[in-house]
Each structure stands twice: as structure tokens, then as C-alpha cells.
Amino acid sequence: MTNKDFEDVKAFLKELKDDSQTPKNVRLKSEEVLNILEGEGEMSMNANKAINIFEELSEDTNLEAYTRTQIWNIASLLEKLC
């Protein structure tokens, strides 16, 4: 993964986290994922943890389609990190 890919993921996570129309649980999970990615450890392991969090989150039936699409887009970018 390039530094640009990592910066793109961080930008999308911050956008999702700061959007006032995003449900609170999604904002909290986005912040958690951002902390995981910026934390210590191997990038591929951190990316896998983040993908698992987003996969679980995307299964929420109460999510709006737009939010679910954003989550899938971020998960796709995270797969590049693995």
C-alpha cells in the first residue's frame, strides 16, 4: 500500500466520522477503525481488524443505503492494505 492509499482511507474515515447524518454507532466505529490503523502493529493485521469491524457494521439492517455504500467503499480501500 502506498502512503496515498493510507491517506485516502483516513480522509474517508474522517468524513464518515464527522458527518452529522451518520448514525452514532457508525461514527464511533469509524473513530475506532481510525485509531486501529494509526496504532502500532503490522498494517495488514490492522487493516484486517478494520475490515472485520466494517463487515459487521454493514450488516446492520437499520443503516441507510448511502452509509452502507460508504462503509463498503472504505472496506474496499482497506483490502488494498492487506
Domain around 23: 3-79
Q: How many structural domains is the chain composed of?
A: 1
pLDDT in tens, 33-57: 999 988 888 888 888 999 999 999 9
Whole-structure pTM value: 0.82
Alpha-carbon dihedral angle through residues 1, 4, 52, 66, given to the nearest 10 degrees = -140
| Sequence-distant (≥ 6) Cβ neighbours of residue 48 within 8 angstroms | 82
The Cα 11–Cα 28 span in angstroms is 16
For residue 42, the domain's CATH number is 1.20.1440.50
| Single-letter amino acid, residue 5 | D
pLDDT of 17 over the 60 cut: yes
User: How distant, in Å, are the alpha carbons of 15, 30, 36, 51, 55 from that of 69?
Assistant: 13, 14, 21, 14, 12
Helix (H) and strand (E) counts for the chain? Answer: 4, 0
